[in-house]
């Protein structure tokens, strides 16, 4: 039943999870228990030689003092001051610098720039000198929460998200189960190669493809017209829009989505099936009692991710199809923030909507993870 | 993936052959079950392949084929390259193609350098500050400043109207760093130790030990970045107001999806003549679609075989 975690660790790829508390997987921690300048496989007498530069004092303190086992070395390692470690790891730190700089400017910059949601931002005064919006900095939020268009965007987001949860989420699981039951590996890998492909198409491309297939002049409606069956207006119907974006998401991403589930299936201990069959369990009982419990961890994880991203629903899809289906059907929180903030040049107002979405998303992902813990699963990170 | 790189090929092949046979304890498949499985798989495959086939075929079709079909072509009645002659003579399209290619190439190089260095820099357990840095990177996956402040930061640095605004803000993918870091930390440790004993510094170890053993995962991540840049749409819409600077995706959006007339040829509305042959406007539009497809279709088969479980799963899990 717990075959998933064991399986992926055995696959020599420790699942580094997304949290500070548990960034290093247990296997990596075990390997790291002796200091990293001497792994258990290396004889102790070799250790003084393995430092990169002779000026480092580490080998002198750690090498001779320790046996082959881990714990004493860890104690020795702790004697290093942070300055020693800094000097020892300077090239590693230098390597992370470009990523740190880019992240600081383009991720943390906007994050701190979010203070503009509490200001009456003007481009001339910038983040530092724009006046605080009254009352008490919450003027934009006050207006936002009295804006029916904002609440419309909010409910639209939730509705589309819910439709996707119900109609999209099970598709990759079902496809993975189906594919896993195909015995011929040639068929399997061919199908995989083909269904992964749309993941690499841009949204413009996917929507153009949908238009050429299902649009007014597309294959479907041309056929219907030639046979005098009327037309079916899918691409421009506001009422069908939530199903249309879901269908597009399924077409583009469902195939790619099976990768994780296939891996979970591969990690299930095959002898369980044999034992169950010997005990008289049929095909469906094996699916229910072995396969699904084996996939449970991954399903819960994907569910947590899905719920955490509930407020992010295909921004580019909405943007591209806004003209076709109208603002009412396609307005979601992201497009609201973009159109009110950037296009209508109401910057602080748009930023307030964006900040609201960011904070709500953070709460959602923490809550979804909490829920996973309550069901006894790891979710995104451990307790 | 991992298994195939770690075990000899022959063993993997034998294992695969063993897996292909139905185990003795399993029931014989029912005819109905086999039939429905086959049907579902066929429908799924056709749903992906037919649209792609029809688009490529329409772009290659002459006016007559398009007329007979009444639109998108499924059965060819005559094949011609005229649509491509026309499209590749159009300055706007050609320029956008070059822009897209350059952004994909330059962006991918920058991203790979930054990602590989950072992933290796964070891959050694107990190195100074790696937890703090990792936490700082991962935090950006959970909370972002939103569209408006990002726009202001990039514009404030002079990104409005210049190409770097399509590259630098999206140059770092924390997800890709995590994938690569897990791989570096997991598989190459013994080799890394050996290299360090032999006196190799960190740069040397990364270049001649770690990277050569991680070719598969590097190929996959290169593809991710390249496709991401090739598909850039919103950033181009946001930062490049001048259609003379547009990448291909914006041209596709404006002149095919929205159906605006393509400047420079005035053709998309009414069709045009190349020599004495008419080119259907639909063929021109589909030729643009095909142009955005081709690089992906060309690169994909080489990288696709690496998408097996190991490379990605450790990362998708976290």
CB contact under 8 A, B153 and A109: yes
Q: Chain A to chain B, count of Cβ pairs less than 8 Å apart?
A: 373
| Distance, CA of B75 to CA of B58 (rounded, Å) | 9
Q: Min CA distance, A83 vs chain B (Å)?
A: 9
Q: Min CA distance, B64 vs chain A (Å)?
A: 16
pLDDT tier for residue A207 given thresholds of 50, 70 and 90: very high
Closest residue to A207, CB basis, from B238, B257, B314: B257
Q: Min CA distance, A278 vs chain B (Å)?
A: 7
pLDDT at A19 over 70: no
Q: Min CA distance, B200 vs chain A (Å)?
A: 7
Chain B CB contacts of A15 under 8 Å are 182, 313-315, 317-318
Q: Maximum CA pair distance of chain B?
A: 73
- Low-confidence winner among A101-115, A162-176, B59-73 (lowest mean pLDDT): B59-73
Closest residue to A23, CB basis, from B49, B131, B156: B131
CB contact under 8 A, B143 and A193: no
Closest residue to A8, CB basis, from B301, B304, B313: B313
Query: Is residue A380 less than 8 Å (CB to CB) from chain B?
Result: yes
Q: A159 in helix, strand or coil?
A: helix
Query: Residue A360's closest chain B neighbor by CA?
Result: B143
Query: Is residue B259 less than 8 Å (CB to CB) from chain A?
Result: no
Query: Is residue A252 less than 8 Å (CB to CB) from chain B?
Result: no
pLDDT at A25 over 80: no
pLDDT tens, per residue, chain B with 318 residues: 443 344 466 666 666 666 666 777 777 778 888 898 889 999 999 999 999 999 999 888 888 788 887 888 888 887 888 888 888 888 888 899 999 999 999 999 999 999 999 999 888 877 888 888 989 998 898 888 888 999 989 988 988 989 999 999 999 999 899 888 888 887 667 777 888 888 888 888 888 888 888 888 888 899 999 999 999 999 999 999 888 888 999 888 888 887 777 766 544 444 444 444 567 788 888 898 999 999 999 888 888 877 764 455 444 443
A83 by Cβ neighbours in 10 Å (0-12 / 13-18 / 19+) ranks as exposed
Q: Rounded to the nearest 5 degrees, what angle is found at the Cα of B81, between the Cα atoms of B80 and B83?
A: 105
Closest residue to A219, CB basis, from B54, B117, B223: B54
Query: Is residue B102 less than 8 Å (CB to CB) from chain A?
Result: no
Query: Is residue B5 less than 8 Å (CB to CB) from chain A?
Result: no
Query: Is residue A250 less than 8 Å (CB to CB) from chain B?
Result: no
| Distance, CA of B15 to CA of A12 (rounded, Å) | 18
Q: What is the pLDDT of residue B311?
A: 53
Chain B CB contacts of A347 under 8 Å are 148, 152
Q: Mean pLDDT throughout A87-97?
A: 86
CB contact under 8 A, B148 and A347: yes
pLDDT at A57 over 50: no
Q: Min CA distance, A176 vs chain B (Å)?
A: 11
Query: Residue B112's closest chain A neighbor by CA?
Result: A99
With tokens 């004092």, the residue in question is A57
Query: Is residue A328 less than 8 Å (CB to CB) from chain B?
Result: no
- A272, A281 Cβ separation under 8 angstroms: no
Q: What is the pLDDT of residue A170?
A: 92
| Distance, CA of B162 to CA of B241 (rounded, Å) | 10
Q: Which of B169, B234, B145 is nearest to A117 (CA)?
A: B145
| Distance, CA of B243 to CA of A135 (rounded, Å) | 42
Q: Min CA distance, A107 vs chain B (Å)?
A: 6
Which A residues 37-56 touch B at CB under 8 Å? Answer: 37, 39, 41-42, 46, 49-50, 52
**pTM, rounded to two decimals:** 0.80
CB contact under 8 A, A12 and B187: yes
Query: Residue A334's closest chain B neighbor by CA?
Result: B147
Q: A258 in helix, strand or coil?
A: helix
Query: Residue A319's closest chain B neighbor by CA?
Result: B234
Query: Residue B127's closest chain A neighbor by CA?
Result: A89
Query: Residue B75's closest chain A neighbor by CA?
Result: A219
The tokens for A350 are 């748009």
Q: Min CA distance, A230 vs chain B (Å)?
A: 15
The percent of residues above 90 in pLDDT, for chain A, comes to 22
Query: Residue A29's closest chain B neighbor by CA?
Result: B125
Condensed to tens digits (0 to 9), the pLDDT of residues A241-252 reads 999 999 999 999
Query: Is residue A191 less than 8 Å (CB to CB) from chain B?
Result: yes
Q: What is the pLDDT of residue A252?
A: 93
Q: A16 in helix, strand or coil?
A: coil
Condensed to tens digits (0 to 9), the pLDDT of residues A323-354 reads 888 888 888 999 999 998 888 888 888 889 99
Closest residue to B313, CB basis, from A13, A355, A380: A13
| Distance, CA of B188 to CA of B184 (rounded, Å) | 6
pLDDT at A237 over 70: yes
The tokens for B247 are 């990448």
- The interface predicted TM-score (ipTM) is 0.85
Residues paired with residue B61 on neighbouring β-strands, in sequence order: B79
């Amino acid at each position: 039943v717990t075959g998933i975690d064991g399986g992926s660790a055995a696959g020599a790829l420790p699942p580094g999870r997304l949290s500070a508390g548990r960034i290093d997987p247990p296997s990596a921690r075990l390997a790291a228990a002796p200091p990293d300048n001497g792994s258990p496989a290396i004889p102790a007498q070799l250790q003084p030689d393995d430092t990169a530069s002779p000026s480092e004092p580490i080998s002198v303190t750690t090498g001779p003092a320790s046996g082959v086992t881990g714990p004493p070395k860890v104690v020795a390692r702790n004697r290093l001051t942070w300055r020693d470690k800094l000097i020892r790891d300077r090239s590693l730190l230098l390597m992370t610098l470009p990523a740190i700089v880019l992240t600081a400017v383009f991720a943390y910059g906007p994050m701190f720039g979010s203070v503009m949601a509490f200001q009456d931002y003007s481009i001339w005064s910038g983040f530092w000198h724009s006046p605080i919006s009254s009352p008490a900095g919450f003027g934009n939020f006050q207006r936002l929460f009295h804006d029916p268009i904002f609440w419309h965007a909010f409910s639209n987001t939730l509705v589309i998200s819910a439709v996707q949860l119900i109609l999209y989420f099970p598709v990759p699981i079902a496809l993975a189960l189906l594919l896993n039951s195909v015995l011929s590996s040639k068929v399997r890998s061919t199908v995989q190669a083909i269904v992964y492909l749309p993941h690499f198409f841009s949204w413009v491309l996917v929507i153009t493809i949908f238009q050429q297939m299902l649009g007014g002049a597309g294959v479907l409606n041309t056929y219907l017209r030639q046979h005098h069956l009327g037309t079916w207006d899918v691409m421009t119907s506001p009422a069908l829009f939530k199903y249309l974006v879901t269908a597009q998401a399924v077409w583009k991403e469902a195939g790619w989505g099976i990768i994780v589930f296939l891996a979970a299936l591969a990690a299930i201990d095959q002898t369980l099936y044999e034992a169950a069959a010997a005990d008289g369990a049929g095909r469906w009982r094996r699916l229910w009692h072995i396969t699904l419990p084996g996939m449970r961890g991954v399903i819960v994880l994907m569910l947590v991710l899905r719920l955490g991203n509930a407020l992010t629903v295909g921004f580019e899809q909405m943007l591209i199809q806004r003209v076709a289906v109208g603002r009412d059907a396609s307005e979601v929180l992201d497009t609201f923030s973009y159109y009110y903030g950037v296009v209508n040049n109401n910057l602080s107002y748009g930023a307030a909507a964006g900040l609201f979405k960011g904070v709500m998303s953070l709460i959602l992902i923490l809550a979804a993870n909490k829920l996973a813990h309550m069901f006894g699963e790891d979710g995104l990170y451990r307790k | 993936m991992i298994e195939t790189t770690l075990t000899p090929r022959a063993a993997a092949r034998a294992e695969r052959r063993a897996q292909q046979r139905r185990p003795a304890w399993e029931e014989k498949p029912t005819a109905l079950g086999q039939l429905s499985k086959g049907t579902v798989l066929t429908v799924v495959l056709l749903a992906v392949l037919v649209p792609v086939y029809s688009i490529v075929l329409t772009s290659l079709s002459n006016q007559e084929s398009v007329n007979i079909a009444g639109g998108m072509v499924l059965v060819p009645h005559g094949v011609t390259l005229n649509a491509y002659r026309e499209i590749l003579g159009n300055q706007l399209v050609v320029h956008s193609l070059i822009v897209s290619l350059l952004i994909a190439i330059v962006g991918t190089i920058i991203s790979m350098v930054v990602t590989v260095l950072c992933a290796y820099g964070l891959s050694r357990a107990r190195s100074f500050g790696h937890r703090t840095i990792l936490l700082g990177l991962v935090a950006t996956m959970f909370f972002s400043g939103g569209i408006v402040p990002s726009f202001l930061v990039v514009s404030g640095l002079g990104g409005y109207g210049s190409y770097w605004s399509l590259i630098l803000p999206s140059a770092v993918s924390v997800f890709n760093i995590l994938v690569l870091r897990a791989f570096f930390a997991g598989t190459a440790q013994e080799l890394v130790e050996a290299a360090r004993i032999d006196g190799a510094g960190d740069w040397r170890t990364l270049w001649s030990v770690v990277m050569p053993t991680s070719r598969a995962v590097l190929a996959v991540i290169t593809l991710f970045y390249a496709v991401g840049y090739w598909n850039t749409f919103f950033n181009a819409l946001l930062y490049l107001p001048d259609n003379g600077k547009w990448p291909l995706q914006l041209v596709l959006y404006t002149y095919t999806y929205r159906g605006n007339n393509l400047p420079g040829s005035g053709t998309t509305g009414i069709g045009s003549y190349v020599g004495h042959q008419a080119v259907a406007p639909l063929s021109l539009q589909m030729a643009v679609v095909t142009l955005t497809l081709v690089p992906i279709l060309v690169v994909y088969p080489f990288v696709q075989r690496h998408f097996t479980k190991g490379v990605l799963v450790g990362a998708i899990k976290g």
